Amino acid sequence: MIPGTVLFASTTFAIMLATFFLSRVRRLHIVVMSSIMVIDLFFPVYLYMTRDWHKKLIEHGEIFSFLMWMHFILVITLYVLYVVQIQTARRILGGDDQMRRDHRAQGIGILITRGLVIFTGALLAEPAIAFH
């Protein structure tokens, strides 16, 4: 069975992907993308408050797994991409149209990175999902 957190993250990813292609509808694009960024910012807080991290990381020894560290680094990379993306979006809204190519390339990077974050998170949440 797929955990609810994986389904939620996958749904927001699908919404983000659809909104990426609807970038010409500027208000919708800005509202949806910034909302998903805020959700992603607070998702670790939700997970921290609803999971037994000591048992999973310390007692089960997952703190030493490559997958755990890869997931953590991907999350940090995603947050860095979000900051850079917001900076270029502000410049575009300020009238600098030359930033559009950079903004689009960063968006593609965000989609790829976020997909990997969801995938590695799913493997950590339910390792049997990937192998059945």
Tens of each residue's pLDDT in the chain, 132 residues:
568 889 999 999 999 999 999 999 999 999 999 999 999 999 999 988 887 777 777 777 777 888 899 999 999 999 999 999 999 999 999 999 999 999 999 999 999 999 999 999 998 887 655 555
DSSP string, the chain: ---HHHHHHHHHHHHHHHHHHTTTSHHHHHHHHHHHHHHHHHHHHHHHHHS-HIIIIIIS-GGG-HHHHHHHHHHHHHHHHHHHHHHHHHHHHTT-GGGHHHHHHHHHHHHHHHHHHHHHHHHHH-GGGGG-
pTM over 0.85: yes
